[in-house]
Chains A and B, each alone.
Chain A
Amino acid sequence: MEITLKLFASLSDHLPPAARRSNALALEVADDASVASVIESWALPPRLVHLVLVNGEFVAPESRSARRLKPGDALAIWPPIAGG
């Protein structure tokens, strides 16, 4: 199935160059892919995988393995950030 992977801030460097200007990449994943399995397959540095949203909804670290993705889902990830 296809999902959209979005990586922001310093995680942008982990996207292919062509995808960095949109921070987004259409991604083919296994039908049983979870949030955690996608993160693992991209070898993202664990300390930078901080804020994880699926379709804008927060997924807590302890729920990432159990949270299955659906076709069309947008998985967005940020390193530790704040502002205001």
Chain B
Amino acid sequence: MAWTRKILRVNLTQGSCVSEPLNMAWAAQYLGQRGLASKYLVSEIDPGVDPLAPENKLIYATGPLTGTMASTGGRYSVVTKGPLTGVIACSNSGGYFGAELKFAGWDMIIIEGRSPQPVYLHIENEHAELLPAGELWGRTVWETEAMLRQRHQDPLLRVSSIGRAGENLVLFAAIVNDLHRAAGRSGVGAVMGSKNLKAVAVRGTRGVGNVADPKAFMAAVTAGKKVLAENAVTGQGLPTYGTQVLMNVINEMGASPTRNHRDVQFEGARRISAEAMHEKRATDGRTHLVTNQACFGCTIACGRISRIDESHFSVDNKPQYWGANGGLEYEAAWALGNANGVDDLEALQYANLLCNEDGMDPISFGATVGAVMELYELGVLSKEEIGLEAPFGSAAALCRLAEMTARGEGFGTIIGQGSKRLCARYGRPELSMTVKGQEFPAYDGRALQGMGLAYATSNRGACHLRGYMVSSEVFGIPVKTDPRETAGKPELLKAFQDATAAVDSSGLCVFTTFAWTMNDIQPQIQAACGGDWSLESLLQTGERIWNLERDFNLAAGITARDDTLPPRLLNEPCKTGASQGMVAELGKMLPEYYSLRGWSPDGVPTADTRARLGL
């Protein structure tokens, strides 16, 4: 079995670190990572808890394939009750931290309580201790990683930490590892900050030696890697152009939310696209993109490493930003760019670097700035209130607001509350482009009807990674569907959501599913874990996880009324593009979705559904 079968329970109030056995009965039902950590969370906390109270818990979780030879098997998730949304939060990160945690011998860390003083958790194989973090508090993620490696005299120490945004309880604060990989969404970094926990630093030398059937496992992962290498998307498209290749595609379709969703096409999209990142700049003759980069064990390598233009106003006399660094990925480029009407690639990269450096979700940050700019243009917010002029398209405003939010300065503290609270504060709640308090990512729910339903029903608020209908509606994976059509979308979405929940619980990256079907993934999990991990069992596990999350959210106060979209998407048609004249037809899809899920008309899992799934 590829689990280490050990949990590290850390009580910050008491200052204790205790090893306990993994509940293997639960592992057989929830696999690992997202699913298993969610099972622990919902079993251990009151759903009504204040997310930033000591009674909330923060769970770091690997999957059974994390740290193995499986391609992309380096993922970990952070699960908690999210402060941005008030529902379950589960944020998934790559890089090298997850595999290191597994190498140290831990499937999971459950973090409880609140430390009276700032601390960090240091793990070296079976040894775990809480150490003072006074000198680290107030430091960025980048400084924290360097200081901890220096302090422990270990250049291979892997660090997962918060920056000043998490310390300042920015409600979309991220937890960042390996400088620029992040458990990015829903504010998991604010929960860490509320607990006075600055970082988790881990060094593991044990490897993953307990794969159930090593011979079958190697055969399965080798076959899987061949599929990824030979697939045009995972073998060529993603390594060469990264996710940013979507910038022009989505814009061409008229599915790119622009200026706080007022428009669906951005005239500046080409200038901030993957293609632009490959071009030599007039200023220094260098391309923005330096290289691609892979996370642990990944044979796709979609990550972008770029170099900012040293002559750009944003980094004038700031050499710390001049080196090669992470970004831009598509979602960040969209949120910092299209959502604000900013077409300055270097400005987007600067704002993105600040998000990495101080631990903020660039999607929620960028989308919240979009709301600020609309309120500014409407005259609801003034220059005096914001501290600067903030019209749509202002790269200077974007960069300055990123600094202010990351550092907790002035109006940045209001942006740090997210779009929903900000728009409500200024009397225009309808202008918040959010679902369940979380900001939309880079696809318009009017132009892509299936994505509209995915946003409305996502268990962590507006999100593209809970059921990526773009895959079908744009790329044709696994089957091409008309993005303007509603028929068949509820059934397809349910299948996407359940399969994604299973993949997110395995330790693998969901990007593999552009090439792999569940038939490629299942043999890898089966060989690693032993027991019954048939295709049917795996998909039912995904469905069980989805319903477990739903149950928690209902207990936390969510109702069917929250499974909706902002009025702009329901009432204001797309102005241009292939879906011109269309609104999100949620009402045509939601009742069927509930029915297919085995939920009542008001969105509650029925007794039969609970019994069938063993909930």
Which A residues have a C-beta under 8 Å from some C-beta of B?
6, 8-10, 12, 20-23, 47, 50-51, 53, 55-58, 60, 74, 76, 78-84
Contacts and interface: CB of A to CB of B under 8 A. Distances in A.
B482 to A, nearest CB: 8
Given A82-B233, A83-B245, A84-B470, A56 B253 contact: yes
B385 interface: no
B480 A78 contact: no
Interface stretch (B234-242, B366-374, B376-384, B607-615): B234-242
Interface string B249-288: 1001110000000000000001000110001000000000
Given A53-B578, A79-B237, 4 more contacts: A9-B240, A51-B476, A83-B246, A83-B302
Decide if the interface of chain A is mainly helix, strand, loop or mixed. loop
Given A6-B252, A56-B578, A84 B465 contact: yes
Nearest to B513: A82
A53 B471 contact: no
Nearest to B232: A80
Contact of B241 (A56, A74, A81, A84): A81
Contacts of B244: 83
B40 interface: no
Contacts of A56: 252-254, 577-578
Given A9-B241, A23-B275, A47-B232, A81 B249 contact: yes
A82 B477 contact: yes
Given A8-B275, A53-B253, A84 B237 contact: no
14 contacts: A6-B248, A9-B275, A10-B241, A21-B279, A51-B474, A51-B475, A56-B577, A56-B578, A79-B236, A80-B237, A81-B238, A81-B246, A82-B511, A83-B246
Contacts of A76: 248, 252
A84 B270 contact: no
Contacts of B240: 9-10
Q: Which 4 A-B pairs have the closest CB atoms?
A: A83-B243, A56-B578, A80-B232, A57-B578
A84 B207 CA distance: 31
A55 B249 contact: no
A5 B126 CA distance: 60
A77 to B, nearest CB: 10
Contacts of A60: 480
A60 B482 CA distance: 11
Contacts of B270: 22-23
B350 interface: no
Given A9-B237, A9-B274, A23-B275, A84 B464 contact: yes
A55 B249 CA distance: 11
Contacts of B232: 47, 50, 79-80
A7 B279 CA distance: 15
A60 B483 CA distance: 13
A21 B270 CA distance: 9
Interface of B: 231-233, 236-238, 240-246, 248-249, 252-254, 270, 274-275, 279, 302, 330-331, 464-465, 468, 470-471, 474-477, 480, 482-483, 510-511, 514, 577-578
Contacts of B233: 80-82
B241 to A, nearest CB: 5
Contacts of A10: 236, 240-241
A79 B482 CA distance: 19
B252 A53 contact: yes
Contact of B330 (A6, A12, A50, A83): A83
A8 B578 contact: no
Nearest to A78: B249
Contacts of B471: 82, 84
A55 B578 contact: yes
A76 B474 CA distance: 13
A56 B474 CA distance: 11
B96 to A, nearest CB: 21
B468 to A, nearest CB: 6
Contacts of A57: 253, 578
Given A9-B241, A57-B578, A83-B242, A51 B470 contact: no
Contacts of A23: 248, 270, 275
Contacts of A78: 245, 249
Nearest to A50: B232
A51 to B, nearest CB: 7
Contact of B246 (A6, A47, A84): A84
A81 to B, nearest CB: 4
Contacts of A47: 232
B245 A9 contact: yes
Contact of B480 (A21, A55, A58, A80): A58
Contacts of A12: 275
A20 to B, nearest CB: 8
Contacts of A20: 279
A9 B232 CA distance: 13
A63 to B, nearest CB: 12
B564 to A, nearest CB: 23
Contact of B331 (A21, A74, A81, A84): A84
Nearest to B235: A80
Given A10-B240, A21-B279, A82 B274 contact: no
A47 B244 CA distance: 21
Nearest to A48: B232
Chain B CB within 10 Å, residue with most, of A21, A22, A50, A84: A84
Contacts of B465: 84
Contacts of A84: 243, 246, 330-331, 464-465, 468, 470-471, 510-511
Contacts of B245: 8-9, 78, 81, 83
Contacts of B578: 53, 55-57
A17 to B, nearest CB: 12
A24 B249 CA distance: 13
Contacts of A50: 232
A53 B249 CA distance: 9
Contacts of A21: 279
